Amino acid sequence: MAAGAKIKDPAFILEAFQDLMTLEAEFPIKVEGTKTLPYAAVMTSLDPSTRRFILKLVRPLPPALAVGASFEIVLAALGKRFEGRISYLGREGYLQYQFECPLSLEATDRRLWKRYPIRPREDLHVTAQDAEIPGHGITGPLLNLSMGGLVFRVDRMLRLEDGMPVHPGTYLFEPGKTIPLLRLRGFPKGDVLEARGQVVRALEANSELHVCIQMTGMSEAGKLLLARFLDARERQGTQSSRSGREAASATGRFELVKNSPTKGDAGDSDLSLEDSSAPLPGPEQAGLDALLRLDRRCTNLLLVSPPGTDRDRIALRLEGAGYRRFAFALDLFEAHACWKAAGDAPLRMLLVDLEPSRTDGLEPMGAVRHLEPLLRSFGELPVAFVTRLPDPMLELMGHPSFGALAQEEGQGRSWGIVLDGLLHRDGPIKAS
């Protein structure tokens, strides 16, 4: 079937929509003639007799949307991609809406989802694991993003079994290969997007390895996070186009308008993507914050680090996060003796500075694997590993008692958040 071919056979169109429901695949729809971000939709039911179906969307449609409104749809069914127009019939339930099948479909080579390029200064990074156990850890900057997938550059690849570096190549990313764990970091407000994925293709360009991944298995919260981020990017692009047209009309010719970072820039950390349903700060939250501060002040920590500027810097970061009680040990053997002799003031967490191991040529992951036999002697005591700069590979250890901290100010996640998460793995502390 050639691209551009028009199909008006009702039986074929119904078969395509039945295939779409069987696949349970997400596809984009958007109000015809608008420049808003498409809505991610999944078909939940189809009535062949009335040719009506119900879609579940990631975010709600405008409440004032009129019955009969036309939506553009791009779908992949029966091994082909099609475009069409569906009619809105009304709301059925929470995020569920009824539509009518189109009168025709048009075969197309168009991508399902619009791609948005990611600039280097936005600092969005991908961390992935290409197999369950032991697998490889893969990290690199994000190059472009859509509701359905992403492309990133592979900068590092390690064997998770022992932390040894692996030279990445296209042969390691065959089309169809499953990616059981995929994390995107760098979103405004520190949000993290988690999903599973499948390799679509891998190619080498200018001595760089680029991998294209189709995302699957996102939670509803993850879909909403991604939709909001891309919606902000779409609005930013629309505003930039409008500014360019205004500049062209003012000067009589088109000129490239350079956009300086503004508050509405998707790469800026203060981009407003707040959920209107999020609770406002109140007395209960203030009380919980006070309880957390008290808990941090009374928590006994043990830092394994040799004397020097690194240890002093770590101690200052701990004090800045609200921790006041911490002792020092030169190595894990001395730390184990301190842990056994703690008595009435038991240690609640072990912090291990990995920088001394880096001087031996070990990657942070390799240093952790080297220390694991000794760490087992501490039982279930939570352990936080400190590196000079964030290392996303440490997130792939998969151990609930392990966490990672970055020494440099402004790098990585907040120390208080990471340490609180390790100390209270069963949930946040509550006032009695």
Mean pLDDT of 193-214: 89
The predicted-structure confidence for 39-92, as pLDDT tens digits, reads as follows: 889 999 999 999 999 999 988 998 889 999 999 998 888 878 889 999 999 999
- Architecture label for domain 283-423: 3-Layer(aba) Sandwich (3.40)
pLDDT at 286 over 70: no
The per-residue pLDDT of the chain, averaged, comes to 80
* pTM, two decimal places: 0.60
The predicted-structure confidence for 326-369, as pLDDT tens digits, reads as follows: 889 998 999 899 888 877 778 888 999 988 877 777 788 888 88
Domain limits of the chain?
6-107, 116-221, 283-423
* pLDDT score recorded for residue 71: 94
Q: Residues of 38-64 as b/e, b for ≥16 C-beta within 10 angstroms?
A: bbbbbbeebeeeebebbbbbbeebeee
CATH code for the domain defined by 6-107 = 2.30.110.10
The predicted-structure confidence for 209-226, as pLDDT tens digits, reads as follows: 999 998 888 888 888 899
Tokens 């053997």 found at: 333
Q: What percent of the chain has pLDDT over 70?
A: 83
Alpha carbons 149 and 199: distance in angstroms, whole number:
10
pLDDT at 281 over 60: no
Contact 230, 116 (CB under 8 A): yes
Domain 116-221 fold: Thrombin, subunit H (2.40.10)
pLDDT band per the 50, 70, 90 thresholds, residue 288? low
